[in-house]
Structure 1
């Protein structure tokens, strides 16, 4: 039974023991990325606390509570956690891990973060539901452990689990203890653009001080958009940076108004350095990721990495090659164009033939095709290629003149193409 897993250990723990966040930091450390040193207290480390909690009346009230009572009962359950104590075996393992991490450096501060087995996984995001305590010293670290443990009993966690099909009667938590980086600048970064869903763009949000002001939304951060293919910074937008969070020398954090709101908090070289680190993480995971990062002493650090769960996945057939001009599609099923449900295979084939014949009747060409034509069908859905349709309409006079022998003022409303369409309809198999 393992209680403590160091980030730099050669041992690979089970995900259920260290959670998604803890596993990610272990793997990123092993991959050679600049992760501040630390360790994970496993789920087994907290087993006595869970056993105790589950034998209390407060636990039974939470499990059996009505939705309007859940907040009250979960708060009472969390209050019980303030009195939890470590047994001798676990305290010994914890103190030894802290001593190893300090390595003789007295006064070292720590960041204490939750790492649930269900948290930060692809397809699930408990962001904001669990507890992080920054600037923790040796005197306050057990209180920070109890707060992180208690956060898995929060009302928001129970509600999220119920809504997403996770069992609510088996809470699980691991806790990360990591050397605190006294950052001058920090924030988050995304390996795709979450605003426009562009796979070729990375987005960085940054503020002075610790990243808490960015993660919590307390400040409007600076934003940088970078083309991952060319390495060009496409956009720099200064945020208001209303406040910033800083590390107190003796422990804890404090807030202060930003003194340099008009200044961008990252230089261009720092931005590109972060993008390189971000792409390294993306390459490792083979999926889009977001990270939390920090700059201290001119050096970038990776604090967290996780899969992006909220974006629009594109079918491989509809993805443009990196660096190429993007295509704009319209899903007509979502647009309610008389097709409200995915099409059957036969229905898609039938409409695809109609589209091909109609396009040929109008222009003399087969315009069917999702990428090269005006649209098509994929996995039961009908997509219009808006980009190619705009090109077609802009150049419609030439093929129209060739086909009809005259210049139309409004080619799409002209009746000259109707006989061709009728002929195409008659030729469809019935």
Structure 2
């Protein structure tokens, strides 16, 4: 059978077949794979590694039949119209069953392929040179033990292999294991090309183990970089790795070797000296390899410890001091300096996904660098430092009061931080004497200047707030005029060069944000202040949660108006047979493609164009400048129309539900005014004025963000046009690459610099972070996920508990949605999501209830749920994993429970 090289630029016939692990200069990754590369580095650095050799990927490539290349191309989606997507999600149209069938064929091809004579001869010769005897034969794939994907356990390894014939047979089995279902699925999930992967094989002398196990140089559960975790069991290490035994579990403080946790109630299987030696070896391996490591180790019968494997721990969340743009990790692993604590601000905004580098850069420019807060961006997410607040008496009081409103789960673990001596309160005298010594005087002065500036900006809001209180209708008209003026200022006269577009985008940011806040924030602020005043006036007369109903069906909310207009568009299209057929039969992506070609049925084409003229600047995760806007990719909106067309119960129609919510709010106001009147006519009058102002103005709370997103959308449009020019110049590969750069880098690119390498590194990091499911809400500077370190939350066997967010009870079937784009939600289903932002709200219109993993009572999803009148529970740990599609549950928004 003919053989083929999967890398046409490499001549496999000239490549080296055998490389000794002790060779002073380690071979390249694509020749020996991740496992062998790391073992070679450890060996040449004099770590105790069992002797052995590597059969390089050249052997696999010589043996691979020609059909393997075609099969891999199918899995990659090559030749399709969307090859890039194919690498990320698998070939378009391939189901899991299709992928598994291709994997099966790949295994069969490799298992049946003969070992080329020269490969077999080299393998037998190297084995004989070792002296024969029992060896370990282990797969070492090129897409293995990478910083972003470990591939742990995806390919096969064989222990205690004796004899040359058995070694050759084991090598063939290792080659075939490159095509196991799990390995193919893992590569697909991690966006790794199946055509580019190869497999080397490590052959090492077997160590007769008295004790063996695994070691993590950082705590894989909590993320703490200053701890070493060791699992150990008597006998070979495979038992620990495979989970066949319950190992002894140890946690050590790495720097001191102090044992923090060990098996209770029985003598430990490792002595303190052995534990410290292993921890020291692990720390040294981490320093050599440049990242926290997951090591396998063996202690032989003579008591000597050997390292048999080392791979990076790929699941750790990045440290706050890691550079999000280069991917470089903090030099000290977060182990030095004063402990610091950070809160994830993007989670509070309803975002679990990472933010593009340009998006982070723009958010930083919007904040400025003179404010009182310190921000970091680990994992391409925005975190704000809370250390000064926690170490200040008044700051603690403020956190204890406000954090439960923003995120109940973070508030639940706050006491753990307050009790931590590393975050003890700093007295005023100590602070004056120098505090922690971390903040330079210039920085402190800058932050004080920023605080003074913020106070000045707040003072400027007071006159318009008074106007809004006294003349609300006039304020509503003024706000609308401002919105119209803002839209006019965004327009760039054409024609325009790329440099002009870039400058216009940057100028928009600098010129509009402050004025925008001054124009749009006063009115909604008054709306919520009058609600607070009414709550105070009704103290002893009404429970605080009774006032939630006043916020239902609020007028003047641009997001609600958007959702209702989308519903009306769906209603109109439902009356057109051709449009209804298109929206009920075609997927959103095909509908979007037809819209861009002008081929939707006429009512749909015109109606969608009109809707997008007003709301096309919005997006899912819209605070990220890099996210596609609906005017570019309307798939989400088209999917929502399809969902709305499934509503066949008139009582579930969103407009009717909104009307009922408004009527309920008015009825509640009348009831509360009557109750206040029982105490005094003046109190009744004041309560009435306050609640009427709330109804008139609180709905404008979405307007500041709506206008900010208008600015971001125009910046996005201009930067995309810049990207088109840079593609023509050969500076980048795709127009969307501009969102993985910043303004300074784009200027350099316009002068002809090649930015492809920078973009490629950042896209790889971004793609890796997109796959991350768990985001630490509270993160310490040493990498500790505070919630994980505090232990599991309280949940009964048939109940999950969270924060009550919107009163009411609803029963229905679960629909878990991780991304609203293309989501399908039947009317009355319970929406279960990690978090939400305004891009999710069209789903709220037909949801029976909302369950979110993130958030508190003032988070976006909670506020919108109250306004729409649907029960909601937020801050529910593991909701998207514990609940499953189709499961019948009951959501009690007042008790904060989800039962089944």
Q: TM-score band (shorter)?
A: 0.7 to 0.9
| TM-score when normalising by structure 2 | 0.37
Identify the range of structure 1 (291-300 vs 321-330) with the bigger mean alpha-carbon deviation: 321-330
How many angstroms does 1:293 deviate by? 0.7
How is 1:10-49 mapped onto 2 (pairs within 5 angstroms)?
A: 10-49=24-63
Equivalents in 2 of 1:301, 1:81: separation in Å?
Answer: 33
Give the paired residue count: 362
Report the secondary structure of 1:89's partner residue: helix
Aligned to 1:425: 458
* Alpha-carbon contact 2:110-2:176 (below 8 Å) kept: yes
* Alpha-carbon contact 2:214-2:237 (below 8 Å) kept: yes
Report the secondary structure of 1:184's partner residue: strand
* Alpha-carbon contact 1:112-1:134 (below 8 Å) kept: yes
Aligned to 1:344: 363
2:177 to 143, 151, 158: 151
Aligned to 2:295: 291
Point out the structure with max Rg over C-alpha: 2
Aligned to 1:98: 127
Equivalents in 2 of 1:328, 1:100: separation in Å?
Answer: 55
Equivalents in 2 of 1:320, 1:293: separation in Å?
Answer: 23
Unmatched tracts of structure 2, length 5 or more: 1-14, 78-93, 323-329, 398-426, 429-453, 462-513, 516-900
Equivalents in 2 of 1:311, 1:299: separation in Å?
Answer: 30
Equivalents in 2 of 1:160, 1:117: separation in Å?
Answer: 13
Q: Closer, same or farther in 2 for the Cα pair 1:321/1:63, shift >3 Å?
A: closer
Question: For the aligned residues, what is the CA RMSD?
Answer: 3.4
Equivalents in 1 of 2:346, 2:229: separation in Å?
Answer: 30
* Alpha-carbon contact 2:76-2:193 (below 8 Å) kept: no
Equivalents in 2 of 1:7, 1:395: separation in Å?
Answer: 56
Aligned to 2:89: none
Give a deviation string over 1:220-277, Cα, whole Å, max 9, x none: 3212111122221222135xxxxxxxxxxxxxxxxxxxxxx94422111110110111
Give a deviation string over 1:271-301, Cα, whole Å, max 9, x none: 0110111111111122221211111020000
Aligned to 1:281: 285
* Alpha-carbon contact 2:220-2:313 (below 8 Å) kept: no
Larger % of strand: which?
1
Q: Closer, same or farther in 2 for the Cα pair 1:296/1:21, shift >3 Å?
A: same
Equivalents in 1 of 2:194, 2:396: separation in Å?
Answer: 60
Give a deviation string over 1:18-49, Cα, whole Å, max 9, x none: 01111111111111000000110011112232
Equivalents in 1 of 2:188, 2:177: separation in Å?
Answer: 16
Q: In the alignment, is residue 311 of structure 1 matched against residue 344 of structure 2?
A: no
2:193 to 160, 167, 177: 167
* Alpha-carbon contact 2:375-2:385 (below 8 Å) kept: no
Equivalents in 2 of 1:149, 1:234: separation in Å?
Answer: 42
How many angstroms does 1:12 deviate by? 3.3
Larger % of helix: which?
2
Aligned to 2:590: none
Report the secondary structure of 1:33's partner residue: coil
Report the secondary structure of 1:167's partner residue: coil
Equivalents in 2 of 1:336, 1:95: separation in Å?
Answer: 61
Equivalents in 2 of 1:386, 1:18: separation in Å?
Answer: 46
How many angstroms does 1:389 deviate by? 2.5
2:374 to 373, 376, 384: 376
Q: Closer, same or farther in 2 for the Cα pair 1:322/1:163, shift >3 Å?
A: closer
Q: Closer, same or farther in 2 for the Cα pair 1:140/1:390, shift >3 Å?
A: same
Identify the range of structure 1 (325-334 vs 139-148) with the bigger mean alpha-carbon deviation: 325-334
Equivalents in 1 of 2:174, 2:73: separation in Å?
Answer: 21
Q: Closer, same or farther in 2 for the Cα pair 1:312/1:134, shift >3 Å?
A: same
1:206 to 217, 226, 232: 232
Give a deviation string over 1:350-377, Cα, whole Å, max 9, x none: 8x63xxxxxxxxxxxxxx3xxxxxx433
| TM-score when normalising by structure 1 | 0.74
Q: Closer, same or farther in 2 for the Cα pair 1:325/1:143, shift >3 Å?
A: same
How many angstroms does 1:53 deviate by? 4.8
Aligned to 1:416: none
Identify the range of structure 1 (72-81 vs 210-219) with the bigger mean alpha-carbon deviation: 72-81
* Alpha-carbon contact 1:348-1:377 (below 8 Å) kept: no
Q: In the alignment, is residue 3 of structure 1 matched against residue 17 of structure 2?
A: yes
How is 1:187-226 mapped onto 2 (pairs within 5 angstroms)?
A: 187-226=213-252
Aligned to 2:156: 131
Aligned to 1:393: 393
Equivalents in 2 of 1:185, 1:149: separation in Å?
Answer: 30
* Alpha-carbon contact 1:229-1:323 (below 8 Å) kept: no
